[in-house]
Structure 1
Amino acid sequence: MKINLFIIAILLIMISCNSQGKRPIMGKTVYQQELNASFKDASISPLKKKDLRHFKGLDFFEVDSSYIVEAKLIKTENAPTFEMATTTERKPLYKEYGKLHFTLQGKNYELTIYQSQDDLDDVKYKDYLFLPFTDDTSGEASYGGGRYMDVMTTDITAENTVILNFNNTYNPYCAYNDKYSCPLTPRKNHLDLEIKAGIKVYKK
C-alpha cells in the first residue's frame, strides 16, 4: 500500500512539473490564441529564429465589440484581373470582388475587398476574400503597411451582408520578417479614423 502511494505521489509531481514547464498560449479570445499558437510553432511561424526564441505572444488592442460591424457588399461585376503591387517584384493576380459599405463611430465608410486568382484552385483558400486596410493608427500603434482581414464568401448572406470583426485582424508577414513578399494596401483602403482593435505593431 505504501509503495502504491509513493508511486502515485511521484506521478503527481511529474505531472505538475510538466504542466508548469509548458507556457499557456497567450490571448484573450480564441482568434488571438490560435494566431499566437501559429507564431509559436517553428514549422510555420513567420518569425526569425532569433525572435522566435524570445516570443511570448503578439500584442493586441483591447477587444472592443463596437468594432464588429455589419457591412453591405456591392459586388463588382466583370472586374478585370490585375497584378497587385507587393513589397517585392512579385505580382500576384487579384480581382476586385466588391465594395463594403458600413458605419463605424457614426460615420459611413467604404473598403474594397479582393479575391486572389492564384488561390481559386486551392481547396483550402478558394473561399477566402482579402481585405487590406490602413487607418489613423498605422505607423504608430499598428503596422505602417496596414493590416489584413480575411472574409469568407460562405459568410456572405443572401442579402449580401457580412460581418466585419476588426478585432480579428492580422499583420502581413513582412511586419515580422523581410524575407516575405506582401501585398501593399491600396491607398483607397485607408480609413480616416483610429481602429483601436485587433493586432498591434510588432515589437521585438
Structure 2
Amino acid sequence: MSDSFDVETWRSELEEKRAEKDEFFADHPQSPIPPEEREEFSGLEYFEPDSDYRVDATVTVHDDPEPVTMDTTTGREVRYLRVVTLSFDLERADPELADGTYELAAYQMERPEEEPLFIPFRDKTTGQQTYTGGRYMELSPERDVVDGDDIVLDLNLAYTPFCAYSETFDCPLPPEENWLEVTVPAGERFEQ
C-alpha cells in the first residue's frame, strides 16, 4: 500500500460514501428498497472499516478475453468477458482469518465502452453475514491497465446487489472462479 495513504482521510471518505448510499436507499425513486418498506429503512449494515482490506492488487491482462457465462438470480444467463485477473495478499493478525494470496477475475460486458471492471465474488461470509448471492465491486482505473500494474482493490467497497432487496432486479451470480476460500469481513453486510 502506498506510503502516502492517510487512514483517517480514507475512513472519513468511506463513511461519507456509506451515508450517501443510505440516503439514496431511503429516499430515491430508484432505490431497490420497495416503497412500502422505505419508511422503516434505517440504513444498510456494514462491517467496520478496516484498512487491512484495502490492498494492492497485481494485474494480469487477458489480451484475448474469454467469455464467461454467469447465471443470474432469476435463472437467466449473461455473458461477460474476463478482461483482467487481480492477485492480492491478505495478511491478517487474527489467526481465524487466513493469510495468503488470492485472485479475483474482473469482467466487462462484451461491449466495454468505458465500463468499470465488474468483480462479483463470494467469500466465507456469504450466506451468513453477507447476501447468499455474493457481493460486487467495481473498479474504474484512471488509465488502461497493463500486465504487472498494481492497483488498489478496496474490499471495504464490496456491496450487496439490488436483487437482495427486491425480486424486480436480476443479478449475475459470481462464477466459481471468484469464490474466495477466506473470510472477508469488509464492505456491506446483509441480514438474511
Counterparts in 2 of 1:15-164, with a 5 A limit?
29-105=15-91, 106-118=99-111, 120-121=112-113, 126-154=114-142, 160-164=149-153
Alignment of 1:200 with 2:189, yes or no, is yes
Structure with the larger RCO, 1 or 2 (CA within 8 Å, 6+ apart): 2
Supply the RMSD in Å over aligned alpha carbons: 2.1
Counterpart code for 1:182: C
Q: 1:157 to 1:74 in 2, by over 3 A?
A: closer
Other structure's SS at 1:167 match: helix
Identity score, percent:
33
Q: Which has the larger radius of gyration?
A: 1
**Superposition deviation, residue 157 in structure 1:** 5.7
1:57, 1:65 → 2: CA distance? 22
Unaligned runs of 5+ in 2: 1-12, 92-98
1:138, 1:156 → 2: CA distance? 31
Indicate conservation of the 8 Å contact 1:58/1:202, yes or no: no
Greater fraction of residues in strand: 2
Match of 1:17 in 2: none
Question: Any runs of at least 4 consecutive aligned residues in structure 1 with deviations exceeding 3 A, and if so which?
Answer: 80-83, 89-93, 155-159
**Superposition deviation, residue 38 in structure 1:** 1.7
* Cα deviation digits, residues 168-201 of structure 1 (max 9, x gap): 1111111111111000111111111111111001
Indicate conservation of the 8 Å contact 1:176/1:202, yes or no: no
Other structure's SS at 1:78 match: strand
Match of 1:16 in 2: none
* Cα deviation digits, residues 138-166 of structure 1 (max 9, x gap): 11111111110011132666652211111
Alignment of 1:172 with 2:161, yes or no, is yes
Q: How many residues align?
A: 172
Indicate conservation of the 8 Å contact 1:116/1:129, yes or no: no
* Cα deviation digits, residues 88-140 of structure 1 (max 9, x gap): 2544331101111000023100111101235x34xxxx231100111111111
2:84, 2:14 → 1: CA distance? 32
